[in-house]
Structure 1
Amino acid sequence: MSEDRRLHVLRAIVQDYVQTSEPVGSKALVERHQLGVSAATVRNDMALLEEEGLIHAPHTSAGRVPTDLGYRVFVDRLSEIKPLSRGERTAITQFLHGAVDLDDIVDRTVRLLASLTRQVAVVQYPSLTRSTVRHIELVPVGGPRVMVVLIVNTGRVEQRIVDTGRDLTTVDGEALVARVRTRINDVAAGVPFRVAATSLRTLVEEFPEGDRHVIESVVTALEEALVEEREERVVLAGQANLARSRGDFPRSIGPILEALEEHVVLLRLLGELSEDPEVVSVRIGHENPVSGLQSTSLVSVGYGTGNERVASLGVLGPTRMDYPTTMAAVRAVARYVSDILGDPRSN
């Protein structure tokens, strides 16, 4: 038997089952698809697919449904991810256009993904430890106090007000602030923050002893910003979409909802991706290490600036998922988000 024909039959079973949610029989396959063979031949092909563990009979009927392994073979044999339509691309652009800050970008992205795919959308906030410093601003706010503003390439903005112990309203004070601002940007701008933090600490010795408390206060504030933001976050939307697929879950959606509440679990799953932001990851059914998610599939991809992935996004839904369309939507949204983050004018 031709392996290509057998894969064609598997593809047809997956497509029909995703569309109808009903077990697929040989007669239906012959009627709906141009297989070029008889129903008897298709039955033989289905028997071999079942022996290989790619399909199974959910109950005593002539119909078959894909297994997790069957979905895996189907996804791995996709020749390419089909592009979104012009209307879908326009909708993404319009929905994400005009986001005012990182929180707005993440909020719009997760709602857009849930709407496009009708699944549960998951968006990870960019990790500060994997991001790059765009600029550090120092703004005197009266007397000895200065606002330290850290602007990251992902759009994140962190602010700290510190007491330098020195009057910065004088001519000498203003000149010192200007010098500190220049030197910290010389060292930090354009490099990963975890590297910049170490380099900033070396600047303290450059300054006269009487000025060191000012630079020390600024550097400490920047280090604190890094420590406080190491705990990464995810945002979800579309959990109600699970109710539409209630029949796809053999027990209930309860274990899935419980697993989704464990953000540490989601962060771990999203973190197990290729560093290449173009590679779409598909984790199917029992490939998920979390027991509560083994009746679901997670389609995810990284996003970032340039060639660096700083976070991930994706959707989670039943294994009976339209994989080509979902993969296309996830990848397209990630590309748009990366473009927004990479454009300084958008932050």
Structure 2
Amino acid sequence: MGDDRRLQVLSAIVTDYVRTREPVGSRALVERYRLGVSPATIRNDMAVLEDEGYIHQPHTSAGRVPTEKGYRRFVDEVARVKPLSAPEREAITALLSGAVDLDQVVVRTVRVLAQLTGQLAVVEYPSLRLTALRHVELVAMGPRRVLLVIITDTGRVEQRTVTIPRAPGGGETTVDPVALEALRTRLNAALAGRRAGEVLPVLTALAEQAPEAERLLLTAVSGELLDALRPDAEERLVVAGTANLARSTPDFSAIGPLLDAVEEQVVLLRLLADLGRAGGDESGMRVSIGSENREDALAEASVVTASYGPGTGQAVAHLGVIGPTRMDYPATMAAVRAVALYLSRFLAGPEGQDG
């Protein structure tokens, strides 16, 4: 479809259908859009677009509606990411600027994204596997239990309970506060600034050098730490705006499977991982439409995602929205990109937020 005018007609049909949810006829296009041609020419263009699979006629004598192929072409060739309005930018700034830690900013981010787009919003926490360790804390919780607190350079905090095994021979084992403090100091000196892939050899070296009093404790703590950082470890995410999705029921033949998929967060995590591997534009944005989503439950949905991270080329997680294919793509893409940028600036610290 090389005809620029037909692209204009397709754009007008998508825009009108997204706004009204009504099939679009040639008369409506003539009345609402300045296409500079006669109604007969528009009808001819619509016939070509229909033959090429970009639009279809749901009922006899009705107007046309975009197909999945039409939405794809609209996003690839026509849609432009429009700038956010001043009130929208102010809303993002007001909601995110007061956040003091990662948990707070993630919760606020997912809410503002759902509000701006009117869709279901999803924000993934920065991956433990892709960030660097900042600090490890060990807190005695009982005679044989220790709380392991993992803090990364993005501010993510992960807690694990470590149970110390009994000593060989069945002897009683208790957590020695002195040994615990010594191990905490040793771990932080060795692991601060290390990424997940660098942790195992460091822990192996520490185990070879560990005093007898720390070995059982080190083995138990190392096991939990490596489990938290393992390559297939399940990530964390936050969801908001499920009610927005429920209000889109007329756009789905059956919305139940999609709502079930949202509740079963592993489906969303797998979706974000797949989209992340597929890449996107220069800003890490990707739009996946209908059957392009590998999950059956999302076969009638569109997903707009972007990556975020503390610096250029340092994507540590993803965020995005899920809604019907009848979506305002330019506005949704603008909101997703802007929120990802604000979140990246938060992770970058004061320097990034000033930039």
> Which TM-score band (shorter chain)?
0.7 to 0.9
Q: Distance in 2 between matches of 1:195 and 1:145?
A: 26
2:336 equivalent among 330, 336, 339: 330
Structure 1 window deviating more from structure 2 (141-150 vs 199-208): it is 141-150
Q: Is the contact between residue 11 and residue 78 of structure 2 (CA under 8 Å) also seen in structure 1?
A: no
1:296 equivalent to 2:306? Answer no
Q: Per-residue displacement from partner, 1:16-60 (whole Å, max 9, x unpaired)? A: 111111111112112211211101011111110011100011111
Secondary structure at the aligned position of 2:129 is classed as helix
Q: Per-residue displacement from partner, 1:206-262 (whole Å, max 9, x unpaired)? A: 34445545654553453354469922233222111134323222x332232123233
What is the identity, as a one-letter code, of the residue corresponding to 1:231? E
Aligned position for 1:310: 316
Identical residues among aligned pairs (%): 57
Aligned position for 1:285: 290
Aligned position for 1:11: 11
What is the identity, as a one-letter code, of the residue corresponding to 2:258? I
- Which structure 1 residue ranges, 5 or more long, are not aligned? none
Secondary structure at the aligned position of 2:304 is classed as strand
Q: Please state how far the C-alpha of 1:103 moved relative to its aligned partner.
A: 2.9
Q: Is the contact between residue 142 and residue 168 of structure 1 (CA under 8 Å) also seen in structure 2?
A: no
Structure 1 window deviating more from structure 2 (4-13 vs 299-308): it is 299-308
Change (3 A) 1:197 1:94: farther
Change (3 A) 1:319 1:210: closer
What is the identity, as a one-letter code, of the residue corresponding to 2:40? A
Structure 1 window deviating more from structure 2 (100-109 vs 65-74): it is 100-109
1:248 equivalent to 2:261? Answer no
Q: Is the contact between residue 127 and residue 230 of structure 1 (CA under 8 Å) also seen in structure 2?
A: no
Change (3 A) 1:224 1:14: closer
Q: Please state how far the C-alpha of 1:285 moved relative to its aligned partner.
A: 1.6
Q: Is the contact between residue 280 and residue 331 of structure 1 (CA under 8 Å) also seen in structure 2?
A: yes
Q: Please state how far the C-alpha of 1:267 moved relative to its aligned partner.
A: 1.4
Change (3 A) 1:25 1:310: same
Aligned position for 1:237: 240
Secondary structure at the aligned position of 1:240 is classed as helix
Q: Is the contact between residue 26 and residue 43 of structure 2 (CA under 8 Å) also seen in structure 1?
A: yes
**Number of matched pairs:** 339
What is the identity, as a one-letter code, of the residue corresponding to 2:333? M
Change (3 A) 1:197 1:2: closer
Q: Is the contact between residue 306 and residue 320 of structure 2 (CA under 8 Å) also seen in structure 1?
A: yes
Structure 1 window deviating more from structure 2 (337-346 vs 233-242): it is 337-346
Q: Please state how far the C-alpha of 1:201 moved relative to its aligned partner.
A: 2.4
Secondary structure at the aligned position of 1:321 is classed as coil
Q: Please state how far the C-alpha of 1:121 moved relative to its aligned partner.
A: 1.1
Q: Please state how far the C-alpha of 1:102 moved relative to its aligned partner.
A: 3.1
Secondary structure at the aligned position of 1:317 is classed as strand
Change (3 A) 1:158 1:197: farther
Aligned position for 1:130: 130
Aligned position for 2:169: none
Q: Distance in 1 between matches of 2:2 and 2:149?
A: 64
2:202 equivalent among 199, 203, 218: 199
What is the identity, as a one-letter code, of the residue corresponding to 2:47? A
- Which structure 2 residue ranges, 5 or more long, are not aligned? 165-172
Change (3 A) 1:244 1:209: closer
Change (3 A) 1:293 1:217: closer
Q: Please state how far the C-alpha of 1:68 moved relative to its aligned partner.
A: 0.4
Q: Is the contact between residue 301 and residue 334 of structure 1 (CA under 8 Å) also seen in structure 2?
A: yes
Q: Is the contact between residue 129 and residue 230 of structure 2 (CA under 8 Å) also seen in structure 1?
A: no
Paired residues for 1:43-122 under 5 Å: 43-78=43-78, 80-122=80-122
Q: Please state how far the C-alpha of 1:278 moved relative to its aligned partner.
A: 1.6
Aligned position for 1:343: 349
Q: Distance in 1 between matches of 2:205 and 2:230?
A: 19
Q: Per-residue displacement from partner, 1:54-74 (whole Å, max 9, x unpaired)? A: 001111124111100000000
Calculate the aligned-residue CA RMSD, in Å: 3.1
Structure 1 window deviating more from structure 2 (329-338 vs 226-235): it is 226-235
What is the identity, as a one-letter code, of the residue corresponding to 1:223? L
Structure 1 window deviating more from structure 2 (101-110 vs 203-212): it is 203-212
Q: Distance in 2 between matches of 1:262 and 1:160?
A: 23
Change (3 A) 1:143 1:88: same
Secondary structure at the aligned position of 1:149 is classed as strand
Q: Distance in 2 between matches of 1:225 and 1:2?
A: 51
